[in-house]
C-alpha cells in the first residue's frame, strides 16, 4: 500500500488530526506523525503524555469495507504489529497487557487507541489507529502518576532507538496487518495469546464507572475478547472498548 505521510511539529493529537483529514477525504493508508502532542488521547477517555522528542506518536487511517463487528480484533492485532516492530528494530520482546498496551518489566511502554466512524448505512466509513511508543523518557520526564506505571525503551534497555527507523518499520507491519491479517485475524491469535501477560492471572476488571472486580483471566477468544471468571464462578467475555484490566498488585504482573 502507498502511504501518504503527514509529519507535523506539534498537533493536539495525531488521531484527531487524522480524523480531520479523513473528513476531508484523505485516502486509506494516510499516516500522521507528530513530534509532540498537546492533547494526546488514550483509551477510556484518558490522556497520553507526548513530550517533544521523547516518543513516536503515529496514527494511520484506513477505509475498510466492513462492518464494525469485523473490526473487533483490530485493536489487539495492532498490539501484535507493535510487538513485532519493536522486536525487529530493537531485538526486544514486549508483553501485551490486554487488550493493547505494550509492557516491559511490568511497566507500560506503548499504548494504542483505535477509533472507528460509521457511514450512514452503519458500515465502517473509516478507522484510525493511533500508536504512542515511549522511546527516551527518564522517570522525571513523566508526571508522577504516569511515572508509577510507565517507562521508556531507553530506560528499560539502554537502547536509544531512531524514531524514524521505528516509524518506517511500524508502518510496514501495519500495512501487512491491514492487507493480510485483518481478513484472517486468527493467523495472529496464537501469537497474541503467547504474548498476553494476563492469561492465567488474577486481574482487576475496571468498568467505565470506576468499579473494580477481581477475576481470573481464562482465555482470549477468536474475537480477541478476554474471558474472565469471577470468584463466585460467573464467566464473562470482556470486549476491548468496554473495560480495562490491571494486575492485582499494580499496573501489570509480568512473568515474560
> What's 47's DSSP letter?
B
Q: What cell numbers appear for 66 in the block?
A: 466492513
The least CB distance from residue 49 to ligand BTN, in Å, is: 9
Q: How far apart are CA 57 and CA 128, in angstroms?
A: 13
Question: Binder to ligand BTN among 22, 49, 54, 59 (CB under 6 A)?
Answer: 59
Check binding of 111 to ligand BTN (CB under 6 A).
yes
Exposure string for 181-207, b = 16+ CB within 10 A, e = fewer: bbeebeebbeebeebbbbbebebebee
CA distances from 124 to 66, 69, 213 (A): 6, 9, 33
The least CB distance from residue 42 to ligand BTN, in Å, is: 3
Query: What's the farthest any 2 CA atoms get from each other in the chain?
Result: 52
Question: Binder to ligand BTN among 4, 7, 46, 193 (CB under 6 A)?
Answer: 46
Q: How far apart are CA 226 and CA 195, in angstroms?
A: 14
Q: Is residue 198 a contact partner of residue 99, using CB atoms and an 8 Å limit?
A: no
Check binding of 48 to ligand BTN (CB under 6 A).
yes
CA distances from 76 to 128, 138, 154 (A): 14, 28, 25
Binding part of the chain for ligand BTN, among 20-28, 56-64, 177-185, 231-239 by CB under 6 A, reads: 56-64
Binding part of the chain for ligand BTN, among 62-70, 126-134, 210-218, 248-256 by CB under 6 A, reads: 126-134
Check binding of 57 to ligand BTN (CB under 6 A).
yes
Check binding of 37 to ligand BTN (CB under 6 A).
yes
Question: Binder to ligand BTN among 112, 215, 228, 243 (CB under 6 A)?
Answer: 112
Number of residues that bind ligand BTN (CB under 6 A): 21
Residues 6+ apart with CB under 8 A from 162: none
Binding part of the chain for ligand BTN, among 111-119, 138-146, 188-196, 225-233 by CB under 6 A, reads: 111-119
Residue nearest to ligand BTN (CB): 111
Q: Is residue 246 a contact partner of residue 228, using CB atoms and an 8 Å limit?
A: no
Q: How far apart are CA 66 and CA 125, in angstroms?
A: 9
Q: Is residue 50 a contact partner of residue 57, using CB atoms and an 8 Å limit?
A: yes
Question: Binder to ligand BTN among 13, 116, 198, 225 (CB under 6 A)?
Answer: 13
The least CB distance from residue 18 to ligand BTN, in Å, is: 8
The least CB distance from residue 43 to ligand BTN, in Å, is: 4
Binding part of the chain for ligand BTN, among 55-63, 83-91, 134-142, 209-217 by CB under 6 A, reads: 55-63
CA quadruple 37, 59, 133, 105: dihedral sign: positive
The least CB distance from residue 50 to ligand BTN, in Å, is: 6
Q: Which positions from 81 through 110 interact with ligand BTN, judged by CB under 6 A? A: 101
For ligand BTN, the binding residues (CB under 6 A) are: 13-15, 37, 40-43, 46, 48, 50, 57-59, 101, 111-113, 130-132
Amino acid at each position: 500500500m502507498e502511504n501518504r505521510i503527514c509529519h507535523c511539529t506539534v498537533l493536539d493529537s495525531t488521531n484527531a488530526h487524522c480524523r480531520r483529514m479523513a473528513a476531508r477525504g484523505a485516502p486509506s493508508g494516510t499516516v500522521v506523525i507528530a513530534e509532540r502532542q498537546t492533547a494526546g488521547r488514550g483509551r477510556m477517555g484518558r490522556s497520553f503524555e507526548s513530550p517533544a522528542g521523547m516518543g513516536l506518536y503515529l496514527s494511520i487511517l484506513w477505509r475498510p469495507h466492513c462492518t464494525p463487528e469485523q473490526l473487533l480484533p483490530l485493536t489487539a492485532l495492532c498490539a501484535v504489529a507493535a510487538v513485532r516492530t519493536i522486536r525487529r528494530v530493537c531485538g526486544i520482546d514486549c508483553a501485551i497487557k490486554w487488550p493493547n498496551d505494550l509492557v516491559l518489566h511490568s511497566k507500560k511502554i506503548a499504548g494504542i487507541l483505535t477509533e472507528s466512524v460509521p457511514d450512514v448505512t452503519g458500515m465502517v466509513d473509516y478507522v484510525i489507529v493511533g500508536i504512542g511508543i515511549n522511546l527516551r523518557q527518564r522517570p522525571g520526564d513523566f508526571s508522577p502518576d504516569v511515572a508509577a506505571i510507565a517507562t521508556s525503551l531507553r530506560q528499560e534497555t539502554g537502547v536509544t532507538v531512531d524514531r524514524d527507523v521505528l516509524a518506517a518499520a511500524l508502518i510496514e507491519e501495519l500495512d501487512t496487518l491491514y492487507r493480510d491479517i485483518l481478513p484472517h485475524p486468527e493467523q495472529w491469535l496464537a501469537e497474541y495469546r503467547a504474548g498476553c501477560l494476563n492469561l492465567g492471572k488474577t486481574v482487576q476488571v475496571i468498568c467505565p464507572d470506576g468499579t473494580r472486580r477481581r477475576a481470573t483471566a481464562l482465555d482470549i477468544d477468536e474475537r480477541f475478547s478476554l474471558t474472565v471468571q469471577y470468584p463466585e464462578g460467573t464467566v464473562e467475555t470482556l470486549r476491548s472498548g468496554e473495560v480495562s484490566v490491571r494486575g492485582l498488585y499494580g499496573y501489570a504482573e509480568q512473568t515474560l
